[in-house]
Structure 1
Amino acid sequence: MNMDDALKKEWFRFNSKLVVNEGQFGLLEVFKRNFGRERMLEKKILKVDEYEVGPYKVCIFSSPRELEFIYGVSDSSVELLSEKLVEHLSSTLADNIAYKIKGLHLFDKFLAFTVDEAVRQLQGYLELSEETARKVALSLAFRCAGLSAIAPLLLDDKVEEFYLDGKEENVYLDHRDWGRCKTNIILSDKDIERVLTRIRLESGFRLDEVHPSLKAEVLTKFFRVRVLVDIPPIAAKGIMLTFRRMRKKPYTIPELIYNGTISVEAAAYLLFCILRRFNICVIGEPRAGKTTMINALDLMTPLNWRKVYVEDVIESLSLQEHGSHQAKVKVKPPEEEGEKSKAKEITQLLHRSPDWVFLGEIRTREDSWAMFHALTAGLVGLQTCHGRSVEDIILRWVIHHGIPLTNLKALDIIVEMKMLPSIAGRPKRRVMKIVEASDDPRKFLTVEKLFSGEAFIDVFAWSPERDELSLVTDLLKTPSLKKIRKRFNASEEEVLEEMDVYKFTFSKMVEKKIFTVKDNVSILNHLYYLSSNVDEGEMDWKDVKREIEKIIEKLH
């Protein structure tokens, strides 16, 4: 946990106000009321971080003998213009746009329209720069939508998830840098009803006593979240909300290498297997980073592939602007009745002629049967499943879902992920192991053989001593590489030379911190084009390495 030395020296004592950089950050009364701890008045707390999120100022505080950090928020537009003026502006704006917002039930369109309208009005009678006007306008837009209470959490890319467990309780969150944090945010009944109304509008599904749970996504140019809401009779305390944020700047494989989630060698191996169209199933517990991983892997597919996505909640990335061919099928969640089920749409994939399929989360028995039907029919791609380990997920498929043992051979590769929690501070997400299904069908005839260590072979395993994902077998003897060598008549030297170029490429991208989606897609597709010249005999892998280095240096 790194802190700026200057921040370490900033100590604050609660008296009647909490002073932050000459401005008023009114958290005292909120802490007294919301946390119910009068002793905090006599306790020193330390501000450990401070940053801006659009129009909001975020401060992170630590308190002695407290496991959770405190996430405090203030609205910079209020500090700039005063609360009274901001309330007046938002009220006037709401009146002015009321007759114009028909058809703007989707939040993305509502926000974009309202921000533009607010900027126009602000610049009409206040001398504000374009940047400042847009920040204030965003705050006003959230106020008009009735979502100002949770706006900072929706916009903050360092917030991974945030939660509300019941009425009149504090919202709390998981922070990328500081782990579990309490907030000074309590949602009123009116705030909660506005959130529920927005979720109903975005999803198009019912939320009532008969249908008390709803899973939906809210996708805008300002933020992307997946939300799960529960109301009575399921929610014993009146309401339960779980918001999972999807990063505005998605993780790419070089960034996951940089933060220790996966090793360079393992990333090169997975890329090699993706390009040969091997299936990859990413498994792990909730919050292990499964969706992050399959999105990062999906980014590495060639742009000329036709990719078909089947999801009940859209968590895949939109890559059309980069030239990708993406056909997306949205299905009803398992909780909703109807014809358009995920299992049914997966079985229809054969008629959609995909090069690659993205199935998202496989949850139900029907989903599992449909997935293995697709795999055994020759469709490959990416999917996630919940399970604590490879062994547990295999038992779940075989025992609970009734999948025939011999079908497991079609899995190809399983990536097991885990979140390593910290009692206080930032959790780490790691690839714990990468295993391959044996190419020998005799290994899948009995449950005993499945767990003999021969049906599924560890290729990479994480070492807790070194905090490192390491190769634990001879790559050339893995089922995937043996198949590839046989299928393409490739020598050991050719295979290793190609993988070395992939390792070199990732290492250079990590070194230069080339993490954006745009740059990753550009570099990797240059690499694929150059690789095709090797296949044609016009270049060798040393030439490819030199050209890729030039491209990376030029880009950097």
Structure 2
Amino acid sequence: MNCFQHSSLYTDVGRTWIWSNIGRTLYLFYPDYPEMNPQVICDIMHKLMYFTPQRVLISFKDHWYDVCKEYLDSMKKYSRKAMKEKTGLYRMLSEKYDTADLDLNDAREKLSIRPFYGSVYSKLILQLPLSSSFLVECQLQEYEKIFKRRSLEEHNYVLGHLFYGIDVKKNSYRVSFKTDDFLWIKRELSKILRFIYSEKMLRTGKLKDIVEYRFKAGLKFLKVLTSEEINEPIKKSLVKHAVYSSMGLSKIYPLINDGNVQCFFLDDVGEKIYVDHAFFGRLNTNLILKEKDFESLVTLVKRETGLNLDYSHPSIKASIVFSKVLTRVSIDAPPLTLGRGVIDVRKHVVNILSLRNLLGSEYFSVEGAAFLIFAMLNRANISIIGEPNSGKTSLLNFLSYFMPSWWRIVHIEDALETLPPKIFNQHRVVYIVDPFESGEKGSTKTLEIVKVLHRTPSYLILGEIQTKGHVKAMFHAVSAGLRVIHTAHALSSSGFIKRLAEVHSIPHLLISELDLIILMKKLELNNSIKRFIGEIVEVNRDSNLNKLFSRNTILEEMCCQSSLKDSEIFERLARLNYIEEEILYDEYEAIEKTVRENRYSENTTVKNLIQKIHLRVLGKSMRG
């Protein structure tokens, strides 16, 4: 099947065409028509606008026919005429958009493709040299089996106009159109939308402005291509796909559309994209990203960021919002890469990890969860470390969700991965700086960390600390009294401390300003990934490490290694917040009890209960 392209794999809809690269042959299947008729001829001419076959084979009522070469050449000729006229009409429609001169009914009579073809196609039939011998019967039973074959994926689901099929045994993730009609409507609608521009689009060039304007136009021009009623969710999904297709992002949209896809990757241009699926792990897709698709994505990222991707700047990273889905897009190109280009797109899902699910999966223990929330509420300096894709940012987001509503939370990031502002009744200020990959010529994370001293944060979220400059700026802020939570790459807590001291030359006296290090771990099993907290350690006054919670194997529950009362953390946080140490320990125990008793409750319930505990502690300390 590698040599074929086909329209639909939906289990209840048969395939109506197949394109074979071998022999450049187009196979068409018309189960509803007993013989050649005007609508079939229009359909063939329409498909000849997309394919240049040497042969066209047609099936009527279980019989296959070969279109004779002379007649096929004539159809190609008139198909080119129809395409030229159609393109002119599409351009005219775009010019009349948002004017009183736009007549959708007249346009539909000419340009409709479903359920019947318009006059642009049908009027050319009279010019075709029909003869009784233009079809020659032939035997092709093996292709008939392909047309009638059902989808055999283990798991499948429909999102809007798209069908998703997953075969775990084959590590396969297949995307197709729910019906053949949706495929061709999407293709034609995207062609119309390429002519649609607004002054704001031309002025800003931003994805948000393009999508909003073309989506509105797409809903209107959909009525030109079909008179059939399409239900609202499918219509919106179909039009949105056409909008992205008009920008060359047709193969990106299905992955953005599927909320189960957490991230997707491309190892080289011309290869298949593969994804990390929330339920089935890493899967190979049927989506091949060609050179033009890659260039379209590069153009989008460059336009959104104002950054370059060229020989002197072969890497680019940016936060891109695709239809309310926030992503971090990383692209690498030659001479950095051996191939023509590498893509890494990670979705940033606003939904916070559920405490109930985390406890159920033994991500951490009740005591560990309570301790981390307690430490964050009392503004401990926290480093979340681990290897790539181990869940560092997800844990940071989980903890920041429990931050009090009266705090002023300041983010400094080069690509927004933590919680966006104004979503959980919290005061969040987000500063986006140029990524490390850009060479840090503009607003840098190092500079903004220093400047944040004058922005009065209750807690500073730094995202990922990557460079020596980042590290030095962070410790400059910490030594000046700011409270910080951040992520970093490291395989162990001791290795992280060693890198701070020996690679980045941070004095041990400053390293001891860190309070806690949380080590994230991941285990890749077949195509699934299990993420969990490996250990929680405190950094004592001598910058030595003291394990508070840990586990030796993935099967063990994370447990407390020694009495928390014997650790330095309560004393340090008591001194920081001017609260008696015993009161803080009582707060931890109250939070631990609340988490235990409400481990099956929603995050909101647990947060409200914990916030009341913290307010009582603050009130008690103020009364003396």
TM-score range, shorter chain: 0.7 to 0.9
| 2:572 is equivalent to residue 469 of structure 1 | no
Say which SS state the counterpart of residue 115 (structure 1) adopts.
Answer: helix
Matches within 5 A, 1:249-398: 249-335=351-437, 336-338=439-441, 340-398=443-501
Q: Note the C-alpha offset of 1:104.
A: 5.0
Q: Which residue of 2 aligns with 1:61?
A: 167
CA distance in 1 between partners of 2:258 and 2:398 (Å): 21
Q: CA deviation at 1:282?
A: 0.2
Q: Is 1:479–2:560 an aligned residue pair?
A: no
| Of 449, 452, 457, the match for 2:546 | 457
Structure 1 residues 413, 530: CA separation in 2 closer, same or farther (over 3 Å shift)?
A: closer
Match for 2:164: what amino acid?
A: V
Q: After TM superposition, give the deviation of residue 94 of structure 1 in Å.
A: 3.0
In structure 2, give the amino acid aligned to 1:112. Answer: E
3-state SS in 2 of match to 1:379 = coil
Q: Where do residues 88-487 of structure 1 align in structure 2 (5 Å cutoff)? A: 88-97=188-197, 101-103=201-203, 105-122=205-222, 125-335=227-437, 336-338=439-441, 340-422=443-525, 424-438=526-540, 441=541, 443-444=542-543, 455-464=544-553, 466-484=555-573, 487=578
Q: Which moved more, 1:224-233 or 1:494-503?
A: 494-503
Measured after TM superposition, the shift of residue 106 of structure 1 is: 2.2
Gaps of 5+ in 1: 1-11, 33-40, 445-454, 539-556
2:449 aligned counterpart, secondary structure? helix
Task: Tell me which amino acid in the other structure corresponds to 1:474.
Answer: S
In 1, Cα distance between equivalents of 2:500 and 2:617: 41
1:504-519 correspondence runs (5 A):
504-507=593-596, 510-512=599-601, 514=602, 519=604
User: Partner of 1:173: helix, strand, or coil?
Assistant: strand
- Cα distance, 1:252–1:349 mapped onto 2, change above 3 Å: farther
Q: Assess if the C-alpha contact under 8 Å between 1:357 and 1:381 holds in 2.
A: yes
Aligned residue type for 1:158: N
Query: 1:278 is aligned with what amino acid?
Result: A
Once the two structures are superposed, residues 300-335 of structure 1 have per-residue CA deviations (whole angstroms, 9 ceiling, x without a partner) of 111111111111111121131433212222222223
Task: State the shift of 1:502 in Å.
Answer: 2.3
Distance 1:22 1:97 in 2: 38
SS at match of 1:511: coil
Q: Secondary structure at the match of 1:433?
A: strand
Would the alpha carbon gap of residues 483 and 534 (structure 1) be closer, same or farther in structure 2, given more than 3 Å must change? closer
- TM-score scaled by structure 1? 0.80
Does 1:50 find its partner at 2:156?
A: yes
Answering whether residue 13 of structure 2 is matched by residue 23 of structure 1, we say yes
What is the alpha-carbon root mean square deviation over aligned residues?
Answer: 3.1
- Residue 580 of structure 2 is matched in structure 1 by 489
Query: CA offsets per residue over residues 249-301 of structure 1, 9 Å max, x none?
Result: 24354443344322222111111111111111100011111111111111111
Alpha-carbon deviations, 1:204-239, whole Å to 9, x = none? 111111211111110244312111111111122111
Segment of structure 1 superposing worse, 364-373 or 136-145:
136-145
The number of residues matched between the two structures is: 488
Judged with a 3 Å threshold, the aligned counterparts in structure 2 of structure 1 residues 119 and 503 are, in CA distance, closer, same or farther, namely farther
The residue matched to 1:146 in structure 2 has which SS? coil
Question: Aligned to 1:270, what secondary structure does the other structure show?
Answer: helix
Q: Quote the offset at 1:72 in angstroms.
A: 0.5
Instruction: Please identify runs of 4+ aligned residues in structure 1 that moved more than 6 A.
Output: 14-18, 25-32
- Give 3-state SS (helix, strand or coil) of 1:95's partner: coil
Q: Deviations over 1:428-448 (max 9, x none)?
A: 00110000011xx3x34xxxx
- How far apart are the structure 1 equivalents of 2:593 and 2:21? 51
2:192 counterpart SS class: helix
TM-score (norm 2): 0.72
Give the letter aligned to residue 60 of structure 1.
I
State whether residues 123 and 133 of structure 1, in contact with CA within 8 Å, keep that contact through their aligned partners in structure 2.
no
Distance change (3 Å), C-alpha of 1:507 and 1:209 = same
Q: Which residue type is aligned with residue 116 of structure 1?
A: K
Cα 1:231–1:407 change in 2 (3 A) is: same
Tell me, yes or no, if the aligned pair for 2:374 and 2:588 is still in contact at 8 Å: yes
Counterpart CA distance in 1 for 2:203 and 2:595 is: 46
In structure 1, C-alpha distance between the alignment counterparts of 2:17 and 2:563, rounded to whole Å: 58
TM-fit CA distance, 1:505: 3.8
Once residues 562 and 457 of structure 2 are traced to their aligned partners in structure 1, the CA distance between those partners, rounded to angstroms, is 33
Q: How far does residue 98 in structure 1 lie from its aligned partner after superposition?
A: 6.2
State the secondary structure of the residue aligned to 1:90. helix
2:327 is paired with a residue whose SS is strand
What's the CA shift string for 1:151-198, capped at 9, x where partnerless?
A: 122232222221111122111122222222111111122111111101
Q: Whose RCO is larger (CA < 8 A, sep 6+)?
A: 1
